[in-house]
Amino acid sequence: MQRIVVGTRNPNKLAEIQAILRDLPVELVGLGAFPDAPEVQEDGNTFEANAAKKAVTLADALGEWVMADDSGLAVDALGGQPGVMSARYAGVTHDDAANNRKLLAELDRVPTEQRTAAFRCVIALARPGQLLLTAEGRCEGRIAFAPRGRGGFGYDPLFEQPDLGKTFGELGRDHKNRISHRARALEAFREKLTDLLTAAG
């Protein structure tokens, strides 16, 4: 069984990825098992650049296959912001509540029809010395006027699915894992990884 290190210390994200890829013949472990793993500065201008940099840097440092993702929220009324700065929108502390408050302040008085947004996720897989593949997923929605729901993390309480009338924070984990940007990126990743493992025997 191929071991793949998931390049995150976020237990919520690790659990989500493990749940979605649970039927693949791979062992998924988080960075918590590698306390000496370096912190990788996410200084790219795109989700693709950040995901690839994290995967390659960690694969070289750990001598392991590493999958890493970069994801974020792009709000149309804000010209695509917060984008690659999603986790640090309100500062470097990665404070979800502060990020949500700032987003709501930026969208103050913006009407419903102009609050469209998309979650984007790019996943990269690398082994030492080589970027193996990338995959992308996207989920369209809009920004609610106030947080709703206690599920998920990040901007989930504000990201509403208009056809459901619920935010990601109000959806159960299983439902979210079927429709989220990360779920869609992981489905594309699954196909590419399956082909790669098959080719490698």
Question: How much is the pLDDT for 174?
Answer: 82
Give the span between the Cα atoms of 34 and 4, in whole angstroms.
Answer: 12
Whether residue 174 lies in the annotated active site: no
pTM metric for this prediction: 0.85
Tell me: domain 2-200, CATH 3.90.950.10, correct? yes
Whole-Å CA distances, 77 to 62, 72, 124, 131, 154:
41, 15, 29, 34, 19
pLDDT band at residue 182 under the 50/70/90 scheme: confident
Does the structure show a pLDDT above 90 at 22? no
Structure tokens at 186: 């992981």
Question: What are the tens digits of pLDDT across the range 103-138?
Answer: 999 999 999 999 999 999 999 999 999 999 999 999
Catalytic residue among 36, 60, 69, 70: 70
Does the structure show a pLDDT above 80 at 73? yes
CB atoms inside a 10 Å sphere around CB 183: 19
Question: How much is the pLDDT for 134?
Answer: 97
Give the span between the Cα atoms of 57 and 37, in whole angstroms.
Answer: 10
Question: What are the tens digits of pLDDT across the range 40-66?
Answer: 998 999 999 999 999 999 999 999 999
Question: How much is the pLDDT for 21?
Answer: 86
| Cross-strand bridge partners of residue 54 | none
Does the structure show a pLDDT above 80 at 201? no
DSSP the chain: -EEEEE----HHHHHHHHHHTTTSSEEEEEGGG-TTPPP-----SSHHHHHHHHHHHHHHHHTSEEEEEEEEEEEGGGTT-BGGGGGGTT-TT--HHHHHHHHHHHTTT--GGG-EEEEEEEEEEEETTEEEEEEEEEEEEEE-SS---SSSSTTTTTEEETTTTEEGGGS-HHHHHHHSHHHHHHHHHHHHHHHHHHHH-
Question: How much is the pLDDT for 127?
Answer: 97
Domain residue ranges in the chain: 2-200
Write phi, then psi, for 102 (nearest 5 degrees): -65, -45
